[in-house]
Amino acid sequence: MKIAVTGKGGVGKTTVAAILARLYSHQGDFVLAVDADPDANLASAIGFSELEISKIQPLSSLSSFIEERTGARPGAGGGFFKINPRVDDVVDRFGIQFENIRLISIGKPKPGGTGCYCPENVFIKSLVTHLILKKDEMLIVDMEAGIEHLGRGTAKAVDALLIVVEPGKRSLQTAKEIRKLALDLGILRVFLVANKLHHTQDEDFFRKNLSDFEIIGFLPFDKALIEADTNGQAPFPTCRRVIQEIEKIKHFLDTNSQMSEDK
Ligand SMILES: Nc1ncnc2c1ncn2[C@@H]1O[C@H](COP(=O)(O)OP(=O)(O)O)[C@@H](O)[C@H]1O
Ligand SMILES: [Mg+2]
């Protein structure tokens, strides 16, 4: 199954992605976790040790490696480069391991943004495409408030695009924009996860304002998450209230992807 998590900054994408990764790892699945947010913190949210985290080499910073694979030096404008560089060994070479989770970090896009057609972006996009199209592997991608890393060729292979929202109109606006982009790309399974709920009335707020979305989870605002974050601890396994609700999301995804496989 291939899951991508997106939404406005601060809504809880990394928290959701990290807990999902731990739940799948816990049941014995091999999980590939991709941190595609330039403000990278998926590794610590999953529970990687400081030592492992210090070993992370963000892929976009590997200038020599990208040059070796694409035939062009990142940052050097113009010239020709391979548009389908070899990427099949990247996870083994640059990933860090915790339990059944292997994690790679994409790092910061170069000036010009992720839309620019330059060696590093072609390299990253080739890698993401390769990982999404690879069968029989659990993939969880923690993204920023956009879906630039997904391309037309990979859209249909995304089993679930989870858009996380929180109470308040701002994150809803982002969710609507993301969904539009997703539909343009042909991503059909777009689901909403409502996070940081204070009261049950908050559920009505989401149902009313996002009536045309499929909401697959309502996660409570949980002080335990703030405490865990303050103490530099991962939310799994202590933040039970949120984990319990994410287990339901996992169950939905498992059932849903089963259905799509049967088709
Ligand atoms: N349900 C929740 N209850 C309380 N705090 C939360 C909840 N979900 C996320 N947070 C906190 O909000 C902050 C942002 O969460 P994070 O997952 O890093 O968001 P994002 O990846 O979308 O920027 C973190 O401090 C996190 O602990
Ligand atoms: Mg994040």
Q: Output the 3-class SS for 89-113.
A: CHHHHHCEEECCEEEEECCCCCCCC
Q: Give the lowest-confidence range in 44-53, 101-110, 169-178.
A: 101-110
At residue 155, the pLDDT reads 82
Residue of the CA atom closest to atom 19 of ligand 1:
12
At residue 149, the pLDDT reads 80
**Which residue out of 225, 236, 239, 249 has the highest number of ligand 1 atoms within 8 Å of its CB and is therefore the one to mutate?**
225
232 C-alpha to center of ligand 2: Å?
Answer: 15
Mean per-residue pLDDT, 108-130: 79
178 C-alpha to center of ligand 1: Å?
Answer: 19
Domains and CATH numbers, the chain: 2-262 (3.40.50.300)
* Cα gap 200→117, rounded to integer Å: 46
Q: Give the lowest-confidence range in 103-107, 148-152, 206-210.
A: 148-152
Nearest by Cα to 80 from 91, 90, 70: 70
Q: How confident is the model at residue 261 (pLDDT cuts 50, 70, 90)?
A: low
Residue of the CA atom closest to atom 17 of ligand 1:
12
36 C-alpha to center of ligand 2: Å?
Answer: 9
Mean per-residue pLDDT, 196-211: 94
pLDDT digits (tens, 9 = 90+) for 74-99: 876 667 888 899 999 999 999 999 99
At residue 187, the pLDDT reads 92
pLDDT digits (tens, 9 = 90+) for 234-254: 999 999 999 999 999 999 999
| Rg over CA atoms, the chain | 18
Atom of ligand 1 nearest to the CA of 195: 1
* Cα gap 209→224, rounded to integer Å: 28
At residue 263, the pLDDT reads 42
222 C-alpha to center of ligand 1: Å?
Answer: 9
Residue of the CA atom closest to atom 13 of ligand 1:
10
Q: 125 to each of 6, 129, 164, how far by Cα in Å?
A: 17, 6, 23
pLDDT digits (tens, 9 = 90+) for 166-202: 999 999 999 999 999 999 999 989 999 999 999 989 9
Average pLDDT, the chain: 91
At residue 260, the pLDDT reads 54
In the predicted structure, residue 103 carries a pLDDT above the cut 70: yes
**Which residue out of 8, 13, 15 has the highest number of ligand 1 atoms within 8 Å of its CB and is therefore the one to mutate?**
15
Q: Give the lowest-confidence range in 73-77, 110-114, 205-209, 216-220.
A: 110-114
10 lines ligand 1 (CB under 6 A): yes
Single-letter amino acid code for the residue at 252: F
246 C-alpha to center of ligand 2: Å?
Answer: 17
Q: Say which ligand is closest to the CA of 40.
A: 2
At residue 50, the pLDDT reads 95
Helix 223-230, helix 240-262: angle, nearest 10 = 100
